[in-house]
Amino acid sequence: MSLNEIYDPNNIFAKIIRGDMPCVKVFEDGSYLAFMDIFPQTEGHCLVIPKTEGATNLLTAPASMLSGLIETTRKVAAAVVAALEPDGVRIAQFNGSLAGQTVFHLHMHILPVYEGRSIAPHAGGSPASAEALELLADKIRRAM
């Protein structure tokens, strides 16, 4: 997919927003949703998305959406740090398939970084169990 693709309302994140697909929620308000990445690159890997459909990436999003997305990302990242005590935290956002984007609904990655542990490749590996993700999500929710 290029940077100029038309938004697909059947992408996995749109299905999650509508409740057609499950997720392990970390935070939700009227505009944004944060949940555990089912293919985590590191322990505590979360995603933050706007609940409004239409923006495939940062470049197609209205400015009014971006400020809330950044603030929600900061809020969730702070809770991840408080709950899991990583040595660092990486915030990532990809635009277009050549840049590594695999779901074409604007989203932010929160990746805790731990000394001595590697980060798995993006969009690879095996899915984590819902039970393991729920344990991490519970810790993060309690830290908010």
Instruction: Give the residue numbers annotated as catalytic, written as ranges.
Output: 107
The backbone torsions φ and ψ at residue 33, rounded to the nearest 5 degrees and listed phi first, read -135, 135
Please write down the HEC assignment for all residues of 63-99: HHHHHHHHHHHHHHHHHHHHHHCCCEEEEECCCCHHH
Amino acid at 6: I
State the residue for tokens 């996995």: 12
Report how far apart, in Å, the C-alpha atoms of 70 and of each of 16, 73, 109, 136 are. 20, 5, 11, 22
- Would you tell me how many other CB atoms lie within 10 Å of the CB of residue 72? 21
Closest by Cα among 13, 103, 108 to 53? 13
Q: What is the CA radius of gyration of the chain?
A: 14
